[in-house]
Structure 1
Amino acid sequence: MAEPSKASGQYNSVMGSAKEAVGGAIETVTGSTQPSSWTTAGKEQHAKGETEIKAAEAKAYAEGLGDRVQGKIDSVVGAATGDRTKQAQGNIQHDKGQAQMNINA
Protein backbone atom coordinates (compact mmCIF):
# COMPACT_ATOMS: atom_id res chain seq x y z
CA MET A 1 0.00 0.00 0.00
CA ALA A 2 1.30 3.46 -0.90
CA GLU A 3 1.99 6.12 1.68
CA PRO A 4 -0.92 8.53 2.18
CA SER A 5 -0.48 11.71 0.16
CA LYS A 6 -2.27 15.04 0.48
CA ALA A 7 -1.86 15.62 -3.28
CA SER A 8 -3.36 12.26 -4.20
CA GLY A 9 -6.13 12.76 -1.64
CA GLN A 10 -6.97 16.20 -3.07
CA TYR A 11 -7.04 14.77 -6.59
CA ASN A 12 -9.44 11.98 -5.59
CA SER A 13 -11.61 14.35 -3.61
CA VAL A 14 -11.95 16.80 -6.51
CA MET A 15 -12.45 14.09 -9.14
CA GLY A 16 -15.04 12.41 -6.95
CA SER A 17 -16.93 15.67 -6.55
CA ALA A 18 -16.83 16.18 -10.33
CA LYS A 19 -18.20 12.68 -10.94
CA GLU A 20 -20.97 13.36 -8.41
CA ALA A 21 -21.88 16.53 -10.31
CA VAL A 22 -22.01 14.65 -13.62
CA GLY A 23 -24.15 11.98 -11.99
CA GLY A 24 -26.50 14.61 -10.61
CA ALA A 25 -26.85 16.16 -14.06
CA ILE A 26 -27.61 12.76 -15.59
CA GLU A 27 -30.24 12.10 -12.94
CA THR A 28 -31.83 15.51 -13.57
CA VAL A 29 -31.92 15.03 -17.35
CA THR A 30 -33.29 11.49 -17.15
CA GLY A 31 -35.62 12.21 -14.25
CA SER A 32 -34.23 9.22 -12.41
CA THR A 33 -34.84 8.89 -8.69
CA GLN A 34 -32.03 6.35 -8.35
CA PRO A 35 -28.42 7.51 -8.04
CA SER A 36 -26.48 6.97 -11.25
CA SER A 37 -23.26 4.98 -11.33
CA TRP A 38 -21.45 8.29 -11.76
CA THR A 39 -22.95 9.62 -8.52
CA THR A 40 -22.12 6.45 -6.59
CA ALA A 41 -18.58 6.23 -7.95
CA GLY A 42 -18.06 9.95 -7.30
CA LYS A 43 -19.14 9.72 -3.68
CA GLU A 44 -16.83 6.75 -3.13
CA GLN A 45 -13.85 8.48 -4.76
CA HIS A 46 -14.51 11.71 -2.85
CA ALA A 47 -14.66 9.83 0.46
CA LYS A 48 -11.47 7.94 -0.40
CA GLY A 49 -9.72 11.23 -1.14
CA GLU A 50 -10.84 12.85 2.11
CA THR A 51 -9.70 9.78 4.08
CA GLU A 52 -6.30 9.87 2.39
CA ILE A 53 -5.90 13.58 3.20
CA LYS A 54 -6.63 12.92 6.88
CA ALA A 55 -4.19 9.97 6.95
CA ALA A 56 -1.43 12.08 5.38
CA GLU A 57 -2.05 14.86 7.90
CA ALA A 58 -1.95 12.41 10.82
CA LYS A 59 1.31 10.89 9.55
CA ALA A 60 2.93 14.31 9.13
CA TYR A 61 1.71 15.39 12.59
CA ALA A 62 3.27 12.28 14.15
CA GLU A 63 6.54 12.91 12.31
CA GLY A 64 6.51 16.50 13.59
CA LEU A 65 5.95 15.28 17.13
CA GLY A 66 8.92 12.93 16.79
CA ASP A 67 11.14 15.78 15.54
CA ARG A 68 9.95 18.02 18.33
CA VAL A 69 10.72 15.45 21.05
CA GLN A 70 14.11 14.48 19.59
CA GLY A 71 15.01 18.14 19.16
CA LYS A 72 14.16 18.88 22.77
CA ILE A 73 16.29 15.94 23.94
CA ASP A 74 19.24 17.08 21.82
CA SER A 75 18.86 20.64 23.06
CA VAL A 76 18.85 19.60 26.71
CA VAL A 77 21.79 17.23 26.24
CA GLY A 78 23.69 19.95 24.39
CA ALA A 79 23.00 22.46 27.15
CA ALA A 80 24.00 20.00 29.87
CA THR A 81 27.27 19.05 28.16
CA GLY A 82 28.13 22.55 26.98
CA ASP A 83 27.83 21.50 23.32
CA ARG A 84 26.32 24.68 21.85
CA THR A 85 26.16 23.19 18.34
CA LYS A 86 24.09 20.21 19.53
CA GLN A 87 21.90 22.54 21.57
CA ALA A 88 21.28 24.82 18.57
CA GLN A 89 20.59 21.89 16.24
CA GLY A 90 18.17 20.49 18.81
CA ASN A 91 16.34 23.81 19.01
CA ILE A 92 16.07 23.96 15.21
CA GLN A 93 14.74 20.38 15.02
CA HIS A 94 12.28 21.11 17.84
CA ASP A 95 10.98 24.21 16.07
CA LYS A 96 10.72 22.38 12.74
CA GLY A 97 8.68 19.64 14.42
CA GLN A 98 6.42 22.21 16.09
CA ALA A 99 5.79 23.92 12.74
CA GLN A 100 4.96 20.59 11.09
CA MET A 101 2.54 19.77 13.89
CA ASN A 102 0.86 23.17 13.57
CA ILE A 103 0.44 22.78 9.81
CA ASN A 104 -1.15 19.34 10.20
CA ALA A 105 -3.25 19.93 13.33
Structure 2
Amino acid sequence: MSSNNMTSGEPNKTSGQFHSTKGTAVETIGNMTGATSWQQSGKQEHAQGETEYRAAQTKGYTEGTADRIGGKKDSVVGAVTGDSSQETQGNLRRDKGEAQQNFNS
Protein backbone atom coordinates (compact mmCIF):
# COMPACT_ATOMS: atom_id res chain seq x y z
CA MET A 1 0.00 0.00 0.00
CA SER A 2 2.65 2.47 -0.92
CA SER A 3 0.15 5.01 -2.23
CA ASN A 4 -1.99 5.28 0.87
CA ASN A 5 -1.67 7.15 4.13
CA MET A 6 -0.36 4.32 6.33
CA THR A 7 3.19 5.66 6.42
CA SER A 8 2.90 6.01 10.18
CA GLY A 9 1.85 2.36 10.43
CA GLU A 10 -1.54 3.35 11.80
CA PRO A 11 -4.66 2.38 9.87
CA ASN A 12 -6.89 5.31 9.00
CA LYS A 13 -10.62 5.10 8.19
CA THR A 14 -10.59 8.19 5.96
CA SER A 15 -7.58 7.04 3.98
CA GLY A 16 -9.00 3.52 3.68
CA GLN A 17 -12.33 4.81 2.42
CA PHE A 18 -10.58 7.11 -0.08
CA HIS A 19 -8.49 4.27 -1.51
CA SER A 20 -11.49 1.93 -1.63
CA THR A 21 -13.51 4.50 -3.61
CA LYS A 22 -10.58 5.43 -5.85
CA GLY A 23 -9.89 1.77 -6.56
CA THR A 24 -13.51 1.21 -7.55
CA ALA A 25 -13.36 4.20 -9.91
CA VAL A 26 -10.11 3.01 -11.51
CA GLU A 27 -11.54 -0.50 -11.93
CA THR A 28 -14.70 0.94 -13.53
CA ILE A 29 -12.62 2.95 -16.01
CA GLY A 30 -10.63 -0.20 -16.76
CA ASN A 31 -13.85 -2.14 -17.35
CA MET A 32 -15.21 0.57 -19.66
CA THR A 33 -12.02 0.85 -21.69
CA GLY A 34 -10.96 -2.79 -21.56
CA ALA A 35 -7.66 -1.84 -19.90
CA THR A 36 -6.90 -4.92 -17.81
CA SER A 37 -4.03 -3.19 -15.97
CA TRP A 38 -6.48 -0.56 -14.71
CA GLN A 39 -8.98 -3.25 -13.76
CA GLN A 40 -6.37 -5.11 -11.72
CA SER A 41 -4.83 -2.05 -10.07
CA GLY A 42 -8.32 -0.76 -9.25
CA LYS A 43 -9.33 -4.06 -7.66
CA GLN A 44 -6.09 -4.13 -5.69
CA GLU A 45 -6.40 -0.55 -4.42
CA HIS A 46 -10.06 -1.12 -3.50
CA ALA A 47 -9.16 -4.26 -1.51
CA GLN A 48 -6.29 -2.49 0.26
CA GLY A 49 -8.55 0.44 1.12
CA GLU A 50 -11.20 -1.89 2.55
CA THR A 51 -8.55 -3.70 4.59
CA GLU A 52 -7.20 -0.43 5.98
CA TYR A 53 -10.71 0.80 6.83
CA ARG A 54 -11.57 -2.41 8.70
CA ALA A 55 -8.23 -2.33 10.54
CA ALA A 56 -8.87 1.25 11.69
CA GLN A 57 -12.41 0.32 12.72
CA THR A 58 -11.14 -2.65 14.75
CA LYS A 59 -8.42 -0.54 16.37
CA GLY A 60 -10.97 2.11 17.36
CA TYR A 61 -13.37 -0.48 18.78
CA THR A 62 -10.56 -2.10 20.78
CA GLU A 63 -9.45 1.25 22.19
CA GLY A 64 -13.07 2.00 23.10
CA THR A 65 -13.32 -1.33 24.90
CA ALA A 66 -10.19 -0.55 26.92
CA ASP A 67 -11.56 2.86 27.91
CA ARG A 68 -14.95 1.42 28.77
CA ILE A 69 -13.48 -1.30 31.03
CA GLY A 70 -10.89 1.01 32.61
CA GLY A 71 -13.51 3.67 33.21
CA LYS A 72 -15.87 1.19 34.85
CA LYS A 73 -13.05 0.00 37.13
CA ASP A 74 -12.15 3.59 38.11
CA SER A 75 -15.80 4.40 38.71
CA VAL A 76 -16.29 1.42 41.01
CA VAL A 77 -13.04 2.05 42.91
CA GLY A 78 -14.01 5.71 43.32
CA ALA A 79 -17.47 4.78 44.59
CA VAL A 80 -16.08 2.21 47.05
CA THR A 81 -13.37 4.52 48.39
CA GLY A 82 -15.59 7.60 48.44
CA ASP A 83 -13.44 9.42 45.86
CA SER A 84 -16.11 11.22 43.88
CA SER A 85 -13.52 12.74 41.52
CA GLN A 86 -12.23 9.29 40.54
CA GLU A 87 -15.78 8.02 40.20
CA THR A 88 -16.72 10.93 37.92
CA GLN A 89 -13.58 10.54 35.80
CA GLY A 90 -14.25 6.82 35.53
CA ASN A 91 -17.80 7.44 34.37
CA LEU A 92 -16.58 9.91 31.76
CA ARG A 93 -13.94 7.48 30.49
CA ARG A 94 -16.50 4.66 30.37
CA ASP A 95 -18.92 6.86 28.39
CA LYS A 96 -16.13 7.89 26.00
CA GLY A 97 -15.22 4.24 25.44
CA GLU A 98 -18.84 3.30 24.81
CA ALA A 99 -19.20 6.11 22.28
CA GLN A 100 -16.01 5.01 20.53
CA GLN A 101 -17.26 1.41 20.40
CA ASN A 102 -20.58 2.54 18.92
CA PHE A 103 -18.82 4.68 16.32
CA ASN A 104 -16.62 1.77 15.25
CA SER A 105 -19.18 -1.05 15.27
Using the size of structure 2 for normalisation, the TM-score is 0.90
Identical pairs, percent:
51
Q: Any gaps of 5 or more consecutive residues in structure 1?
A: 28-34
Q: CA RMSD in A?
A: 1.0
User: Which amino acid is 1:54 matched to?
Assistant: R
Q: Which secondary structure state, in structure 2, belongs to the residue aligned with residue 7 of structure 1?
A: helix
Q: Measure, in 1, the Cα distance between the counterparts of 2:11 and 2:29.
A: 27
If asked which structure has higher relative contact order (CA below 8 Å, sep 6+), I would say 1
Which residue in the other structure is 2:70 paired with?
Answer: 70
Question: Which residue is 1:5 aligned to?
Answer: 12
The one-character-per-residue Cα deviations of 1:49-98 (angstroms, maximum 9, x if unpaired) are 00100000000000000000110010001001100111011001001101
List aligned pairs for 1:2-81, cutoff 5 A: 2-27=9-34, 36-81=36-81
Deviations 1:12-52, CA, capped at 9 Å, x for gaps: 1011011011101112xxxxxxx610000000000000010
